């Protein structure tokens, strides 16, 4: 061969051993199956094939890659099962399989201990949220949205105390929002929208999380009054920017404390059953770009 494989497009080799350490063949318009021979690249740390037209199943041979840290297979046409063996790669920190046609996951007893980011969104995954995900205590980013997950939101998610983003919207989840989500003290974004069977009240503990800047609970069947501790932190100013609660069955009045959220840019409370007067203090929200209060039983004028 006249040219080393290390000079190929998308290939990175180690300086000393000249073995392939990274393979990034994203956006090349490639079509076909993922070759199981990738499992022979034992020094591979990064594998990225996103935005191509790969189809078929994920090869189990990938589990041989004991140095692998990053897998990105987003935006392909992969189908079938997510092999549980992938989660047994102890070095794996990031697994992204967004926007494929994956339909099932085999539950594993352990593994994923160092996984920091897991994106399985925009697939056709079914069944309950797999319990092994709840053992990945290093997770900071978890996106399971736009699938067909059923059952309740597991209260064990509250053990993933390093989570910054929890996105499990647009599934078929049911039951109440577990109080244990209040344990996620580093959470920045909570996206539970579009689970029409999600019922019960919004736990007031969520509004004690000082880092939370986006809450989207819209298009559910949540009931009860809004918590009255919204944005009334004594020790730290609220960082809440986006509060999206439209299309539920929420009742009562809009809490006075809401207008103390000085950083709010989007407030969507439309299509609920709120009553009472539109608070005059709404004028304090100088950052607001979108304010949606329609479809309620409110009285008074917009200022």
Q: Is residue 2 pLDDT above 90, yes or no? A: no
13 assigned to some structural domain: no
Q: Is residue 280 pLDDT above 90, yes or no? A: no
pLDDT digits (tens, 9 = 90+) for 188-211: 999 999 999 999 999 999 999 999
> In this structure, what DSSP letter does residue 178 have?
P
Average pLDDT over residues 31-36: 95
pLDDT digits (tens, 9 = 90+) for 214-261: 999 999 999 999 998 888 766 667 899 999 999 999 999 998 888 888
Residue 1 — very low, low, confident or very high, per pLDDT cuts 50/70/90?
Answer: very low
262 assigned to some structural domain: yes
Separation of alpha carbons 83 and 102, rounded Å:
11
Phi-psi region at 62: left, alpha or beta (left = phi > 0; alpha = psi -120 to 50): alpha
Residue 165 — very low, low, confident or very high, per pLDDT cuts 50/70/90?
Answer: very high
Mean pLDDT of the chain: 93
Distances from the Cα of 92 to the Cα of 48, 74, 190, 263, angstroms: 13, 16, 24, 37
Q: Label residue 297 exposed, middle or buried (CB < 10 Å: 0-12, 13-18, 19+).
A: exposed
Average pLDDT over residues 175-186: 97
Output 86 or 247, whichever has higher pLDDT: 247
What percentage of the chain carries pLDDT values higher than 90? Answer: 79
Comparing C-alpha atoms, which of 256, 243, 246, 254 is closest to residue 284? 256
Number of domains the chain contains: 1
11 assigned to some structural domain: no
14 assigned to some structural domain: no
pLDDT digits (tens, 9 = 90+) for 119-149: 999 999 999 999 889 989 999 999 999 999 9
198 assigned to some structural domain: yes
Separation of alpha carbons 136 and 223, rounded Å:
32
pLDDT at residue 101 in the model: 98
pLDDT at residue 301 in the model: 61
184 assigned to some structural domain: yes
Domain hosting residue 33, numbered range? 25-299
pLDDT at residue 235 in the model: 63
Residue 150 — very low, low, confident or very high, per pLDDT cuts 50/70/90?
Answer: very high
The set of residues, in sequence order, having a beta carbon less than 8 Å from that of 234 and lying 6+ positions away, is none
pLDDT at residue 111 in the model: 63
Residue 112 — very low, low, confident or very high, per pLDDT cuts 50/70/90?
Answer: low
Q: Can you give the CATH number for the domain in which 245 is found?
A: 3.80.10.10
């Amino acid at each position: 061969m006249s040219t080393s494989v290390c000079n190929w497009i998308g290939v990175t080799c180690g300086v000393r051993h000249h073995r392939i350490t990274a393979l990034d063949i994203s956006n090349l318009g490639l079509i076909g199956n993922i070759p199981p021979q990738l499992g022979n690249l034992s020094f591979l740390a990064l594998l990225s094939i996103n935005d191509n037209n790969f189809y078929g199943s994920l090869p189990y041979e990938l589990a041989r890659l004991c140095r692998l840290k990053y897998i990105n297979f987003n935006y392909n046409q992969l189908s079938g099962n997510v092999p549980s063996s992938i989660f047994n790669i102890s070095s794996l920190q990031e697994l992204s399989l967004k926007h494929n046609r994956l339909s099932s996951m085999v539950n594993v007893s352990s593994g994923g201990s160092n996984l920091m980011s897991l994106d399985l969104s925009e697939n056709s995954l079914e069944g309950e949220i797999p319990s092994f995900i709840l053992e990945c205590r290093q997770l900071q980013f978890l996106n399971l949205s736009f699938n067909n997950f059923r059952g309740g939101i597991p209260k064990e998610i509250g053990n993933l105390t390093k989570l910054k983003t929890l996105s499990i919207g647009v599934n078929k989840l049911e039951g109440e929002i577990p109080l244990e989500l209040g344990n996620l003290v580093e959470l920045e974004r909570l996206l539970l929208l579009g689970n029409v069977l999600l019922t019960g009240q919004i736990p007031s503990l969520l509004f004690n999380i000082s880092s939370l800047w986006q809450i989207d609970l819209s298009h559910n069947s949540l009931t009860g009054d809004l918590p009255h501790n919204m944005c009334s932190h004594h020790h730290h100013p609220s960082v809440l920017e986006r509060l999206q609660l439209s299309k539920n069955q929420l009742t009562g009045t809009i809490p006075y404390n809401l207008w103390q959220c000085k950083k709010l840019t989007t407030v969507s409370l439309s299509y609920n059953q709120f009553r009472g007067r539109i608070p005059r203090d709404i004028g304090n929200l100088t950052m607001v770009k979108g304010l949606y209060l329609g479809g309620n039983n409110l009285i008074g004028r917009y200022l």
